Chains A and B, each alone.
Chain A
Amino acid sequence: MHTPRSTLTPSAVSDESPSAEVPNIDGKRVIFSICSRNYLHYARALIASLRSHAPDVTLLVILADQEGDDDFEDFVGTKVIPVSSLGIPTLFDMAMRYNVTEFNTSIKPYAFQWLFERGAASVIYCDPDTLFYREPIDIFSALDGEEMDAVVTPHITAPLDMDKRPTELRILQTGVYNLGFLALARSEATVAFLRWWASFMPADCRADLKAGIFVDQKYIDLLPSYVPQTKILRHPGYNVAYWNLVHRPLTMTQTGWLAGDAPLVFMHFSGVRADEDQTVSVHQDRLSYNDLGEGAALFDHYRQILREGSSVLESMGISLDYGFGRFTDGVRIEGPVRKLYAKTVPPRSISFEEAFDPLGPSYSGPSSDIPHEGRVLVSHVMYDLWRRKGHLKKTFDLKNPAQTEAFALWVATAGHQEWNIHKRHVPDAVWQRLAERRSWRFKLSQSYFVLAQQVKKISFLFPKPIRRFGVRLNRAILPRVMGRAK
């Protein structure tokens, strides 16, 4: 429910807090990025490359995280603006509703609006995992010379295939244009567009391909419709990433790197991890590391920069832990719990404490989908687990009270560990029932589950048929035994 408005963190609702100070950007061009703590070293690399290749542009980083007292600016190399300064009405609700990726993307339209309100003439967004090798003159000339209102880069400028991951159809579902980059000039059309785009962010910046939603990106398919002066930049040197590398092999020449036959301007190292050598991107299987040819050196170098960055982070004592990743009691928030929140709670302007309260009614309250007959044994979180897992659906029939109880006891014994369910999301009545059960058969099956959690860690030691039997025992047989034993 609603929490007293007086407890709202001041920075959440006002943009008068001191951290909101920005360099004077009136009439200027701004390039900005958005990241949480875990991507700070990516942002540092990007800012360094922009310092060399876009020297006259104001650079900013927006921190989509809890602030703390860390010296981000020193680390990143430019002004860092906490997300709470942007005056986003449902900020903490969004921070709970979305996972870290969705949350980072949902900030984007608000950031453009905020920078335009402060007078910026043109604003360019780049993902933190992009890196510049040349000055992006085609963007600047589109905005200045051609007087374009917007510049976007398509993921691909020629067909891919339907066999490898991601297929061209999958890319189409996520959006034709990659939102790791977007340039907008301030104009009537772009301001109106931003208002429209931002209106979806409180509730619909999700990855839900079936509903035609993919974070902030899919909406941009309509940008060329709503902003007629949109430049679709097909230059092969811009936004080079795993999705278009097959068309744009990287080669080194005397004048620098080429992508295809054009000068390389910026790479987008999407899915590149500092500690995963020999990997082009964790999101694809089209290219092997060997296919990169000379280009592998770019990836190796990038990972090197990231590793250096993260050791500096460590030496400065900056925590990479995502500030919106835990409930107020410190328990990690699992993906399904966020989804449950997103499904049941409408967007609201609330405080951090309320949004991240582990006892919110959408988790431990009685599930809406089964009759409770006066006793509440199945919470929303438990029902959600049952709904998602075919083997649980098969084992426990929740229309049957005896099996409902068996399911609840199974969750309290083993299920909450197996699926990382917050203990407080299991109703008190269940813990009570559990304490009442004393028969040896029950105790035996209970200790089996406890044991099974341990054995799972070394399951690779057993031959396949035994592992299979173990899974069957775990999933189908013992939960039933448990339900019957008094």
Chain B
Amino acid sequence: MTATTVHFTIASANYLPYVRTLHNSLIEADPDAVFFLFLVDELDDQDLIEALPFDVVEARTVGIPCFFDMAYRYTIMELNTAIKPFCIQYLMDECGFQRIIYLDPDILVLKPLTAVHDAFDQHAELILTPHTRRPLDDGHHPDDRALMLTGAYNLGFCAFANAPETRQLLAWWAEHLRTRCLVDLANGMFVDQKFMDYAPAFVGATMLLHDPGYNAAYWNLHERSITKDSSGTWLADGGPLTFFHFSGVDPTDPSVFSRHQNRFTTSELGDLGTLLEEYLAKLKANTSLGTAILSSLRYAYGRHTNGTPILDVMRQVYRRVHPVPQEDDFNSLFAFEPSFYNEKAERLVEQEGLITRLMHEIWSSRQDLKDHFDLNRTADRSAFIEWFASQAPQEHQLPEPLFDFLPRPEQESGQTSYAAGPVDHTRDESVLLCGYLKTESGVGQGARSLRHALETAGIATHTLTLMPAEFDNTVQAERRDPTKSRDRVAIINANADRTLDVVTRHRKKLEGQYRIGYWAWELPKFPDAWLPAIECVHEIWCPSAFVTNAVSAMTSKPVRTIPHAVEPGNGDGSHARRRLDIGDDTRVVLTTFDTRSFLARKNPAGALEAFKRAFPAPKTDDVVFVMKSHGPADSAEAKRLFTDMAQSDNIISLHGVIEPDALNDLYAAADVFLSLHRSEGFGLSLARSMVEGKPVIATGWSGNIDYMTTDNSRLVEYELADVPPSAYPFAEGQIWAEPSIDHAAMLLRQLIDDPEARKLLGQEAAASAKSPLCRDRIGWLARQRLGEIFTATRRG
């Protein structure tokens, strides 16, 4: 190697452990390598810099025009990426290097970068590595769409030769990065990286390096295998592994492979797990230098001159107000001037009410606030100001001067406003049922069936209809009881996550009542986050033992199992068959799902696969699979599923809300009901099919086994597995069932081929499920418990 080639990285002081690890690994692989660090920081202790065994250039000395403007404009991550082209120009112009190789600080080098040097020798002027060589379309994050938004090439690595076209590219890139090095996907920007999608178009001698040994990382592990051979050499797809990019590792938590993805857990890494352990050990060893703990060094551009932290939202306000770079010096740019943020927002100058730049910026950065407050409306503006005064200072850690001029919200008496309080014994022995009585979802169905059960059992019931925003709410329900009811018991038939909101919203109405939460939850461990919901009720009812177990592990309050009442419908299936053009001899397999529930849990894709395996020849098998669904269809997951469904002739997709009668008829038209759920709280559609006398094939786990046995249904074998992160809310540390698709396919094939077995199983299902789930029995169960409660809360 000649001294015309240089490797460099960019980091702030807290990343010095990474930089030292990178440098060590590079020198170990390639002892002659020249290495520079550009330090995006200012250290009080210059001796620290002296102690580092490589050249360190402070970013402010690189000669970047308006550097301090960038330091204020950008977050630490944005600034670290924004100065990349300036550093490359500096290394070419001030240091005379001809070949510049950039490596992210979180890279571990294992071999000299031979392919890069060779490419330069063959006159490549710019070398980039594509994130991946194969599509990322398995439903995990990140996916192809993420690459289309953030850039095809990973800019944790790039190599530039000093040549006219690359110089032109650098100048163009640098100019953009003075103000546009942002994470703003909606507007087509992702720090320095997205711009480089243009690189192969602007520089003719661009080489896209597809070698699997270069820039291996979480985004390409699905297409390359990282192994260690017997001599201890690391390999990528059998060739040498040159460098691995440990993007998103967490030095404090070895169980995290990368924070930015959910495709792989550490346990799935194979040999690579060892490399990760080694890497973390090196980081740890490099954390302290002399007496300094490097990882906790404070960022010089993270505070104003008076010590007030610079919040991201302040940087956003600055960017909005100053779209072009400001030439001021450090002291004036970094002085804390509250008036700058407290100015009335430019977008709202014509409207009444003081909404400051900072308030408006917080509003526009949060979808929940945008959904809730329409700032074009006067009433919403005052509501927003009220919200801001009471919530924002805490949620956003705002310094006093940015909110102290707002009217102080009245102090509520804290917790007691919603916590379950003493019961008012003068109230009547009747029940107020709060639920989604008009909503066409499972929760709505549950509320309606409970109401009928209570009425059947002769319990005086009043109702309070809750209206979720995202449903049709068309199911006809009688108007609210007009008398001013004074019910002693309130049953809140909304899941735990909504209960707190319901209680807060209807505080006056629910004051003094004995509150029962009727909740379902679909995983074995009840989330800690919902403990406040338990606080605000006196007792919890659950539809199955599965849910009861989860809830009672979290509280000493009474938890009772009250199943949903399920009655057979009145359809005979002829209407549905006619409408779907299904002949009388064609057998119908049915499944239902709601795209709002997580598709991974209901697992319609598994049911589809099982059906396809059971009936591989759509033209000869006289069977159709009706997949009834409703809910929004625009998630990537839903689109993939529906696209798959559309590819087959004997799959019928019924999407949308249908009339209750038509739905009854559809259940009646089915010959077999199939559910390969990974987990169910109760499984209304399964229970419904059973009381209808239909043979049901379902995963033999979770809430449905309260009423399903090997005698009255076909239970599919399964293995318990960790719930993948983000596959379900509060997935961490949870398990669910992974049903065997092959077993399900076999059961399905057997049942379809054997009409006699179908008939017997259907009879058995109806016989065993009808009476335990009938309205009379559920009403009786509720009445028993309510009777105990009324007695216990009587005067004296």
Contacts and interface: CB of A to CB of B under 8 A. Distances in A.
Interface string A345-369: 1111100000000000110011111
Contacts of B202: 156-159
Contacts of A344: 632-633
* Residue from B467, B656, B657, B658 having most chain A Cβ neighbours under 10 A: B656
A199 B201 contact: no
Contact of B200 (A1, A158, A232): A232
A371 B469 CA distance: 8
A211 interface: yes
Interface in B12-71: none
Nearest to B655: A346
A1 B579 contact: yes
Interface stretch (A67-75, A218-226, A263-271, A318-326): A218-226
Contact of B133 (A173, A203, A211, A226): A226
A176 interface: yes
A1 B658 contact: yes
A221 B197 contact: yes
B581 A4 contact: yes
Contacts of A366: 472-474
A371 B439 CA distance: 10
* Residue from A172, A219, A343, A368 having most chain B Cβ neighbours under 10 A: A368
A390 B376 contact: yes
Given A4-B580, A346-B633, A393-B374, A225 B152 contact: yes
Which bracket fits the contact residues of B? Answer: 35 or more
A222 B147 contact: yes
Interface in B359-417: 374, 376-377
Given A225-B131, A374-B476, A212 B149 contact: yes
A159 B172 contact: yes
Interface in B202-223: 202, 204, 206, 208, 210
B479 A374 contact: yes
Contact of B189 (A1, A13, A169): A169
Interface in A12-37: 13
Contacts of B657: 361, 365
A204 interface: yes
Contacts of A301: none
Contacts of A169: 180, 187-189
B590 to A, nearest CB: 13
B198 to A, nearest CB: 6
Given A172-B194, A212-B149, A346-B633, A2 B580 contact: yes
Given A155-B201, A224-B130, A228-B210, A2 B148 contact: no
Interface string B454-486: 000000000000010111111010010000000
Nearest to B195: A172
Interface string A102-138: 0000000000000000000000000000000000000
A203 B131 contact: no
A343 B633 CA distance: 7
A159 B196 CA distance: 12
B93 interface: no
Contacts of A228: 133, 208, 210
Given A368-B471, A371-B473, A5 B581 contact: yes
Contacts of B149: 211-212
Contacts of A349: 646-647
A176 B201 contact: yes
A306 B342 CA distance: 59
B376 A199 contact: no
Contacts of B147: 222, 225
Contact of B201 (A13, A154, A212): A154
Given A4-B581, A225-B132, A154 B655 contact: no
A479 interface: no
A196 interface: yes
B570 interface: no
Given A212-B145, A349-B646, A176 B197 contact: yes
* Residue from A225, A390, A394 having most chain B Cβ neighbours under 10 A: A225
Given A172-B197, A225-B130, A346-B633, A158 B168 contact: yes
Given A225-B130, A225-B208, A348 B148 contact: no
Contacts of B320: none
A345 to B, nearest CB: 7
Interface stretch (B110-118, B240-248, B636-644, B728-736): B636-644
Given A347-B646, A366-B474, A1 B656 contact: yes
Interface in B256-289: none
Interface string B466-508: 0101111110100100000000000000000000000000000
A87 to B, nearest CB: 11
Contacts of A79: none
B479 A226 contact: no
A376 interface: yes
B646 A368 contact: no
B135 A203 contact: no
Interface string A36-49: 00000000000000
A177 B200 CA distance: 10
Contacts of B438: 371
A226 B195 contact: no
A80 to B, nearest CB: 26
A177 B374 CA distance: 39
Nearest to A155: B201
Contacts of A234: 201, 204
B655 A345 contact: yes
B133 A225 contact: yes
A260 interface: no
A212 B581 contact: no
B658 to A, nearest CB: 7
A89 interface: yes
A202 B172 CA distance: 38
A173 B189 CA distance: 9
Nearest to B470: A368
Contacts of A93: 646
Contacts of A346: 629, 633, 638-639, 641-642, 653, 655
B197 to A, nearest CB: 5
A315 interface: no
A219 B197 CA distance: 12
Nearest to A361: B656
B186 interface: yes
Given A1-B658, A4-B581, A159-B172, A202 B643 contact: yes
B188 A209 contact: yes
A173 B194 CA distance: 10
B144 interface: yes
A225 B208 CA distance: 8
A474 interface: no
B654 interface: yes
Interface of A: 1-6, 13, 89-90, 93, 154-159, 168-170, 172-173, 176-177, 196, 199, 202-204, 209-213, 218-219, 221-222, 224-226, 228, 232, 234, 342-349, 361-362, 365-369, 371-372, 374, 376, 390, 393-394, 397
* 3 nearest A-B pairs in the assembled complex, by CB-CB distance: A4-B581, A154-B201, A346-B642
Given A347-B639, A348-B642, 13 more contacts: A2-B580, A5-B581, A89-B646, A90-B643, A169-B188, A172-B198, A209-B188, A213-B145, A222-B135, A225-B147, A342-B634, A344-B633, A372-B473
Interface of B: 130-135, 137, 144-145, 147-149, 152-153, 168, 172, 180, 185-189, 194-195, 197-198, 200-202, 204, 206, 208, 210, 374, 376-377, 438, 467, 469-474, 476, 479, 579-581, 629, 632-634, 638-643, 645-647, 649, 652-658
29 contacts: A3-B581, A5-B652, A6-B581, A89-B647, A93-B646, A156-B202, A159-B168, A172-B195, A173-B187, A176-B201, A177-B201, A196-B144, A203-B634, A204-B639, A213-B148, A221-B152, A224-B200, A225-B147, A225-B153, A226-B133, A226-B134, A228-B133, A232-B206, A234-B204, A343-B633, A345-B655, A347-B642, A348-B653, A371-B438
